[in-house]
Structure 1
Amino acid sequence: MVKKWGIAVLLLFGLYALAMYFYIFYGNDGGIPAALQGTVADPATFMTKKELLLSEDYAKIRNFLFFVATPFEWLMYFFVLISGASLLIEKWSDFDMKWKVVKNAIYLFLLLILTFVVFFPLDYYRYNLSKSYGISTQSFSSWMRDNVIDFWVNFVITVLVVTVLYWLINKSPKKWWIPAWLLTIPFSIFIMFIQPVVIDPLYNEFYPLTNKELETKILELAEQANIPSDHVYEVNMAEKTNALNAYVTGVGSNSRIVLWDTTLNRLNEEEILYIMGHEMGHYVEKHIYIGIAGYVLMMLVGLWLISKMMPWIINRFGHVLKIKDVKSIHSLPLILLLSSILLFLSSPISNFVSRYQEQRADEFAMELVQDPEAAVSGFQKLTKAGLSEVNPPTLVKWFRYTHPPMLERINNVAEYMEEK
């Protein structure tokens, strides 16, 4: 029975991967609409033939890897269950000790090590792919250092979350999802509050903007938008990437606007001010808090669905999945599997909301800065630096794009210029 299930799932995964391969490499090519060919939104007007070819190839490979990697994660959790590995890891961690949190920590450490080893070849391929296309500038030692930091940060957070989760499941097997959801609210806010000052500095060095003349202009722009701000931060990303970026992070007193040094080095002052206007738009329209509310709502639905699906799956297929009891931590891979599937299926909705917010931030920046030419040139440089796909296929846009494609963003600015 277990062997048949394993073969069936592998065949299903293979057929899915084959279908996605043909869709991405031979299906919709995401070409430029005839009406926009030759306009400022057309990458042929600001990218070389070599850059266009590299962008097309790079995008297709990355898109295929994305659509294959997520189901591969499901595959791994499935085989961890049906092989009895999860049950075996639980037995290995079940030392004769009083504290449950220590047993959970041992189980999670072994499970995360297994996950790290299984995904390392894929992660390494992605790293090499980014280097070969001139996006990443990061050395292998630096990349490994980030991976090790990722492992330990995830380990600490996961031990805390899983220990509380299984304590709640043992206390109330049917209603555990309610207190679990209530706890996600303060926990999510706490993580977002400490991230800029505790987590992010583990990976990179952050410091106030060194160009004080530019900082003054940015702070004047913030004052114009009624945004309380004392400092804009920059982060040293040039040793890791050639891509450009800026973002808003944190909540409350720890909220800040961050500029990558690559952005400062390769964009002119007007383009940077437009980007800052965009990030200020997120602040003014409360997008961070809307994002938290959306996440909390999705957690409510997700936890409720998992609480209903878990008992049914274990009752029906527990003998195949080697799960004896939902209360035991060896059932965790099933929770992770269901969580990952639900997150993947809901991503088109969350991405749609995110794209709308990004469009609103663009509109805010255009009104605030009043420099559409800088917006167009800035977007063009962002596209070239990251070899971005300006007009992705529909499924790629739905599942991957948290920002509107560059074709849309540049065209929106061009239309704004015409209206003015």
Structure 2
Amino acid sequence: MSLMLAAASAAQGFDVEAATRAYLDTLQGAARAKSDAYFEGGYWLPLWGALVGIISYWIMLRFRWSAKWSGWADRVTKRKWLQPMLYALPFTLIGALLTLPWSLYTDYFREHQYGMSNQNLAEWFKEFGIMLGVGIVTTAIFLAIIYAVIRKSPKRWWLWGTVATAVLSAIMILVAPVFIEPLLNKYTPMQAGPVRDEILRIAHEQKIPTNDVYVVDASKQTKRISANVAGIGPTIRIALNDNLLNRSNLAGIKAVMGHEMGHYKLHHIQKLLAYLTILSLIGFLITYWVVPKLLARHGEQWGVREVSDPGSAPVFMIVLAILGVPGGILFNSVIRHHESEADAFGLEAAREPDGFAMTAMQLSEYRKIEPAAWEELLFYDHPSGRTRVHMAMEWKAKHLDELPPEQRKIMVMTPEMKAN
């Protein structure tokens, strides 16, 4: 393996700060400015996105579109459980069209502006249409259940709505790897070889019950590297995207996969589901209190007077969009904590500190690498590049005697350095 060595050596003692700085200094000049600008520009996207959503839902209410859609569903069928499902069709479709300019800016034009997307506009619209279809189906199911709960338990629907949301979220986690994700990308079994062998070796050491590794053709969409251990029970699947496979070396791939296995072994999916359930409970309690008051004040103008009327859906969504801004900051902190736990797990599982640091630098191509403490607290759902590289170098310092002699020096491993 070719190595770029810094001045200090193991004989002089391993300097964690110097090693960290050696990595951080590989991102400089225009590349660093671009990364900082991209990420800092995203600080306000959740707020503006919430505002765009609120405006679109307000339009549905202001022009009585929502009431008309509910009336149409009532004329088509008298089955109360089916009416919200019919309502979901125009509600989801028109909602997507109203917010389409914003989606185009955030997901297509801005990504191309910073060189993060590989899609042309036709390809983007194809995927937009696929996910719109998925959204119509999932929204129809969700609204049918929520409004059935509201009708059956007017005083406790906030509680049963939370339970229903938790169950539906668990089902989505279970079925998404098998039925939804393949709609956008092709999952191909990884060919036999050293990379696959090492991934499965680590997986079996960690007692992850799978013998399959898949490669995802994410390069048709983005330049980002990614991997996951997704699913629950029979749908567990180890996958890495082709960007990671093509841009990294064996050490980097092992580091990433060790991290992703950490999410599985530390039960982060189940914990996130629990956190989402708590946030849903808070959200439903607030909407239980706020939505009737809004309908009492504005319902006649909107043509929607009852909470049990599917036409009230935009009112719910406005309240939830407002709550989603602080809720998102809180949830980011939870995810960031989980990511840090998975980082520590991955370092122990893969034992590739320089591979881990290299990957942290790759991720810093689109995440500000050295944010202020308040920035990382408010806007990061992953630890910053500096935090991750420093963790890797601290781990290396503690385990220096266990590493091969050539890895005990302060060095900087780049993605182009392929393992022999």
Q: Tell me what 2:279 maps to.
A: 298
Deviation (angstroms), 1:269: 0.3
Alignment of 1:65-214 (within 5 A): 65-100=45-80, 103-126=83-106, 127-214=108-195
Q: For residues 100-133 of structure 1, give each alpha carbon's deviation from its aligned partner in whole angstroms, at most 9, with x where no partner exists.
A: 4554344322222222222111222220221232
Q: Tell me what 2:403 maps to.
A: none
**Which range moved further: 308-317 or 267-276?**
308-317
Q: Tell me what 1:411 maps to.
A: 390
Deviation (angstroms), 1:266: 0.3
The change in CA–CA distance for 1:43 and 1:61 in structure 2 (over 3 A counts) is: farther
Q: Tell me what 1:314 maps to.
A: 295
Q: 2:346 aligns with which of 345, 349, 365?
A: 365
In structure 2, what is the Cα distance between the partners aligned to 1:146 and 1:101?
A: 30
2:380 counterpart letter in structure 1: Y
In structure 1, what is the Cα distance between the partners aligned to 2:314 and 2:145?
A: 16
2:161 counterpart letter in structure 1: A
In structure 1, what is the Cα distance between the partners aligned to 2:67 and 2:174?
A: 36
Deviation (angstroms), 1:382: 2.6
The change in CA–CA distance for 1:161 and 1:239 in structure 2 (over 3 A counts) is: same
Q: 2:20 aligns with which of 29, 34, 40?
A: 40
In structure 2, what is the Cα distance between the partners aligned to 1:309 and 1:362?
A: 41
Q: Tell me what 2:406 maps to.
A: none
In structure 2, what is the Cα distance between the partners aligned to 1:344 and 1:276?
A: 31
Could you say what secondary structure the match of 1:259 adopts? strand
Q: Tell me what 1:52 maps to.
A: 32
Deviation (angstroms), 1:319: 4.2
Could you say what secondary structure the match of 1:368 adopts? helix
- Contact 2:46–2:325, Cα closer than 8 Å, also in 1: no
TM-score normalised per structure 2 = 0.84
The change in CA–CA distance for 1:318 and 1:245 in structure 2 (over 3 A counts) is: same
- Contact 2:158–2:285, Cα closer than 8 Å, also in 1: yes
Could you say what secondary structure the match of 1:257 adopts? strand
In structure 1, what is the Cα distance between the partners aligned to 2:45 and 2:277?
A: 29
Q: Tell me what 1:230 maps to.
A: 211
Q: For residues 146-193 of structure 1, give each alpha carbon's deviation from its aligned partner in whole angstroms, at most 9, with x where no partner exists.
A: 100111101001111111211221222222223222223332222111
Deviation (angstroms), 1:245: 0.9
The change in CA–CA distance for 1:238 and 1:399 in structure 2 (over 3 A counts) is: same
- Contact 1:235–1:259, Cα closer than 8 Å, also in 2: yes
Alignment of 1:279-358 (within 5 A): 279-319=260-300, 321-358=302-339
Deviation (angstroms), 1:362: 0.8
Q: For residues 34-55 of structure 1, give each alpha carbon's deviation from its aligned partner in whole angstroms, at most 9, with x where no partner exists.
A: xx99763577611241212222
**Which range moved further: 153-162 or 131-140?**
131-140
In structure 1, what is the Cα distance between the partners aligned to 2:22 and 2:304?
A: 54
Give structure 1 stretches of 5+ with no counterpart: 1-35
2:387 counterpart letter in structure 1: E
The change in CA–CA distance for 1:143 and 1:38 in structure 2 (over 3 A counts) is: farther
Identity of aligned residues (%): 26
TM-score normalised per structure 1 = 0.84
CA RMSD of aligned residues (A): 2.4
- Contact 2:93–2:136, Cα closer than 8 Å, also in 1: no
- Contact 2:35–2:364, Cα closer than 8 Å, also in 1: no
**Which range moved further: 312-321 or 247-256?**
312-321
Give structure 2 stretches of 5+ with no counterpart: 1-15, 400-420
- Contact 1:89–1:110, Cα closer than 8 Å, also in 2: yes
Q: 1:389 aligns with which of 358, 368, 376?
A: 368
Deviation (angstroms), 1:64: 3.1
Q: Report the count of equivalent residues.
A: 383
2:177 counterpart letter in structure 1: P
2:232 counterpart letter in structure 1: V
